[in-house]
Amino acid sequence: MGIKERKAREIDQRRELILTVAEEIINSEGIDKLSVRKIASKIEYSPSLIYHYFKDKDEILKHLMEKSYKKIVGLLKSVQTSTEDPKDKIRKMTHSYILLALQMPEQYKSIMLNSSADILSHTSVLFDGASTKRQAVAILCQCLKQIDKYKNTDDKHIELTAQIIWATTFGLIIRMIIENGIDDTQKNLLIQHHIQFIEDGIIQKKT
Amino acid sequence: MGIKERKAREIDQRRELILTVAEEIINSEGIDKLSVRKIASKIEYSPSLIYHYFKDKDEILKHLMEKSYKKIVGLLKSVQTSTEDPKDKIRKMTHSYILLALQMPEQYKSIMLNSSADILSHTSVLFDGASTKRQAVAILCQCLKQIDKYKNTDDKHIELTAQIIWATTFGLIIRMIIENGIDDTQKNLLIQHHIQFIEDGIIQKKT
Amino acid sequence: MGIKERKAREIDQRRELILTVAEEIINSEGIDKLSVRKIASKIEYSPSLIYHYFKDKDEILKHLMEKSYKKIVGLLKSVQTSTEDPKDKIRKMTHSYILLALQMPEQYKSIMLNSSADILSHTSVLFDGASTKRQAVAILCQCLKQIDKYKNTDDKHIELTAQIIWATTFGLIIRMIIENGIDDTQKNLLIQHHIQFIEDGIIQKKT
Amino acid sequence: MGIKERKAREIDQRRELILTVAEEIINSEGIDKLSVRKIASKIEYSPSLIYHYFKDKDEILKHLMEKSYKKIVGLLKSVQTSTEDPKDKIRKMTHSYILLALQMPEQYKSIMLNSSADILSHTSVLFDGASTKRQAVAILCQCLKQIDKYKNTDDKHIELTAQIIWATTFGLIIRMIIENGIDDTQKNLLIQHHIQFIEDGIIQKKT
DNA sequence: CATGAATGAGTTTTCATTCAT
DNA sequence: AATGAATGAAAACTCATTCAT
């Protein structure tokens, strides 16, 4: 049975290769310049071969998105348990999240700026009720609830706060990606400042 | 010489018409559905005529971006003089800016998410020194400076604050555009909340 | 205005040329071997040019079918008024119809063997009620009704008779086309025989 | 040698399986949707395996046609011996033949409308001399000869009559297949009518 | 025996662009 | 000034076929 396994692995490797190459193209030319031909010519095979491994271009895109999506969602999970103090938690999570996102800029962009219904069903966070349907917002809400000032705040308000934190952090990340070439010290200053801003917003909150 | 002038004016009008139509297409179908043919058919001329007025599609795009950019920057100017209180000014400017941006979603996206050097030379705001080179940041800085708490804050700090305000506002706008279908009340709540957040961040600020 | 007209004529000529070439291909290779590329290469132009004159392949096909259809329907009309005696009329019409059909074999085939709903909506004759909806059947029915033996025959019966005359004549034509290479004397014998057969069938009829 | 024989039988079984599956595809999707891939996926083997059993697609087609041809000719044989009265025989044979043909519409069409020389060498019936070379015509001629009225008719005349019977029956079948959706009562009426027509033609015959 | 890998030719279609008129 | 003709390159995809294993 070793043969079958090896074959299976080889197939997976091929698929992986195709996805990797596709990612590279997206990273260098943008997602709408991705074409089956380009993938093929980059791996130096004929375009038709691609169809051995993927049903069609959409399937490639789907895998690509899934892969990226998992990576991005994974970001949050990887930092969430480090500390107890809720404010600290938000601070640290946000910080880590930004840094990780910046390490996979094109993927972050292609997922988070994607407006296909499919992707949005995972990535949208601004709708009423996101605190129960989106992990990221949920986690933020949990933290906020543990902060004294929010004890008596109603859930909707907390949700909105979480949404704003998320959306604004997203904004900073996207701009840092797009305005590429910002040096690291400036980046760090911006990140520090943004986190400080969030903190101030949170502490201040009364209602 | 009157004839020459008239001709020149007519040419300008044509160019303007082409750009306007292109804008319409972008706003209704997105920038990557823009094609020379579509423009031509919309002005009811042949595609080839377009090439009398623009060297190629890229040139159209370039002009388009410039135009949109001016429009977007114009947004800020159009609201800036309504009030005296600096905090109020920031609040109102931000509010108006968001509303105006939401009225031209595709254009806003195509400019503000564009990463060509050409466009970025107008739209980047996160670099060190943006307060002197970018109107938007400059205006924000001016306002911040007038706020008591910022009297003794150094310029770099103020610039960073302005940059964060800008980038986060940008984030909220982009998400509201991308996650399309958010209803107006939810949009308004988010906007209110965001503005409140900025205010809290500003007031809180102690150096 | 002479220029416009000339241009218009030239366009029509081009369209006509494309259609003619398409017909040739169909005639020599069959309808499902027809491709835009083939048309293009036969007129020695690039495939894209075809799209100047026709929206897509379907439009070409549609024109082709329409053209042939009109020709075929025209066949009947061109013979229908030669004589008064109804039996004679059927005899002569059938004869002429067969001869004319044999002069445009591939077109006859592509229309009469076409099973697209669009075409069938013109060419189907076997349904209940065809005598009011299809000219060919209608004419045959009219003739039959004038024959003494059919005076007291109900309409449905007459319709069926007409349908059989039509369907069997169709069968003979198609086979003569498909079994190509039958010499003219044999063809004539077959046609004579078929017509005789119809006549015998009609005369015999009692019920 | 037992092994060799078994092998040979197995090979034949495979070939048979492939042909059967191909037939199924033709009957459900039409002959020009038949593809090697489809056959392969239906027998759950890889496309390449097909090439162990057949040189290429054309060979499959050739075998297929032959098989179908035999089936169609078989149709006639299967009914020919049921009765003694020649008129009755023609009536019954024609009836059964039509019904059987309608049960394999796509196959019938692909054989009987096929104009490749190869197929035609089996299916053509209109040539002078068909009564000795084509079973179907031969059988019809035999029957006709047994009918009193044809006792003194020369062979050529009888052949022509048989050819017309065959060709017109073919016409009715093809039209019933092509104009699909004709309901069963209408179909039966048409068939009855056609058979009656033949009978009338035959009885009438004097010469 | 059986298969996956690989290809090349073909399919329709869209588009930016050039050029002669 | 304006246009139709014309093209070449690119897009996604399908299919029959070959070959090494």
Q: What is the 3-state secondary structure (H, E, C) of C21-72?
A: HHHHHHHHHCHHHCCHHHHHHHCCCCHHHHHHHCCCHHHHHHHHHHHHHHHH
Cβ <8 Å between D120 and C161: no
Nearest by CB to A164, from B113, B126, B172: name it: B172
D207 pLDDT above the threshold of 50: no
**Measured between beta carbons, which residues in chain C are less than 8 angstroms from residue D128?**
183, 186
Considering the entire predicted model, what is its pTM?
A: 0.82
Contact A54, A45 (CB under 8 A): no
pLDDT of the residue at D104: 87
pLDDT of the residue at A7: 74
Q: Which residue has the higher pLDDT, D61 or A76?
A: D61
Measured in angstroms, what separates residue D46's CA from nucleotide E3's C1'?
Answer: 6
The proportion of chain A whose per-residue pLDDT surpasses 70, expressed as a percent, equals 94
The proportion of chain C whose per-residue pLDDT surpasses 90, expressed as a percent, equals 56
Measured in angstroms, what separates residue C56's CA from nucleotide F6's C1'?
Answer: 17
pLDDT of the residue at D206: 46
The proportion of chain C whose per-residue pLDDT surpasses 70, expressed as a percent, equals 93
Could you tell me the pLDDT band of residue A204, with boundaries at 50, 70 and 90? low
- Domain range annotation of chain A: 1-54, 64-203
Model pLDDT for residues B6-50, shown as the tens digit of each residue: 778 888 899 999 999 999 998 888 888 899 999 999 999 999 999
Helix/strand/coil for A111? helix
Cβ <8 Å between B160 and A190: yes
pLDDT of the residue at B80: 57
D23 pLDDT above the threshold of 70: yes
Q: How far does CA D59 lie from the centroid of its chain?
A: 20
Q: How far apart are CA A27 and CA A180, in angstroms?
A: 13
| CATH number, span A64-203 | 1.10.357
pLDDT of the residue at C2: 61
How many contacts, defined by CB atoms under 8 Å, are there between C and D? 127
Contact C166, C140 (CB under 8 A): yes
Question: What does the buried/exposed string (b/e) look like for C57-92 if buried means 16 or more CB atoms within 10 Å of the residue's CB?
Answer: eeebbbbbbebbbebbbebbeebbeeeeebbebbbb
Model pLDDT for residues D73-101, shown as the tens digit of each residue: 777 777 656 677 888 889 988 999 999 89
| CA-based nearest residue to A114, from B182, B169, B190, B30 | B30
Nearest by CB to B115, from A128, A178, A197: name it: A178
B56 touches strand E (CB under 7 A): yes
C205 pLDDT above the threshold of 70: no
Class at the top of the CATH hierarchy for domain B1-54: mainly alpha
Q: Tell me whether chains B and A touch (3+ CB pairs under 8 A).
A: yes
Top-ranked range on mean pLDDT: pick from A197-201, B157-161, D11-15? B157-161
Helix/strand/coil for A180? coil
pLDDT of the residue at C4: 65
Top-ranked range on mean pLDDT: pick from A59-73, A164-178, C17-31, D3-17? A164-178
Q: What is the mean pLDDT of chain C?
A: 88
Model pLDDT for residues A140-172, shown as the tens digit of each residue: 999 999 998 888 889 999 999 999 999 999 999
Bases along strand E below 7 A from a protein CB: 1-20
Q: Which residue has the higher pLDDT, B116 or D57?
A: D57
Q: Does B193 touch chain A (CB under 8 A)?
A: yes
Nearest by CB to C200, from D179, D193, D204: name it: D204
**Measured between beta carbons, which residues in chain D are less than 8 angstroms from residue C169?**
168, 171
Q: What is the mean pLDDT of chain D?
A: 88
Model pLDDT for residues B64-103, shown as the tens digit of each residue: 888 888 887 777 777 656 677 888 889 998 999 999 899 8
Q: Does C205 touch chain D (CB under 8 A)?
A: yes
Q: For C190, name the nearest residue in chain D, comparing CA atoms only.
A: D160
Mean pLDDT of B60-65: 90
Q: Which residue has the higher pLDDT, D19 or A206?
A: D19
Enumerate residues near strand F (beta carbon within 7 A).
A 33-38, 47-48, 51, 56-58; B 7, 14, 45-49, 51-52; C 7, 10-11, 14, 45-49, 52; D 33-38, 47-48, 51, 56-58
Model pLDDT for residues C42-60, shown as the tens digit of each residue: 999 999 999 999 999 999 9
Q: For B115, name the nearest residue in chain A, comparing CA atoms only.
A: A178
Residues 151-190 of A with CB under 8 A from B: 160-161, 163-164, 167-176, 178-180, 182-183, 186, 189-190
Mean pLDDT of D106-128: 88
Per DSSP (E only), the strands in A36-83 are none
Cβ <8 Å between B190 and A115: no
Contact C97, C166 (CB under 8 A): no
C165 pLDDT above the threshold of 90: yes
pLDDT of the residue at A69: 84
Measured in angstroms, what separates residue A13's CA from nucleotide F12's C1'?
Answer: 24
Neighbours of chain B (3+ CB pairs under 8 A): A
A43 pLDDT above the threshold of 50: yes
Cβ <8 Å between C174 and D113: yes
A207 pLDDT above the threshold of 60: no
Could you tell me the pLDDT band of residue B174, with boundaries at 50, 70 and 90? very high
pLDDT of the residue at A125: 96
Lowest mean pLDDT among A32-46, B111-125, C67-81, C192-206: C67-81
Cβ <8 Å between C204 and D205: no
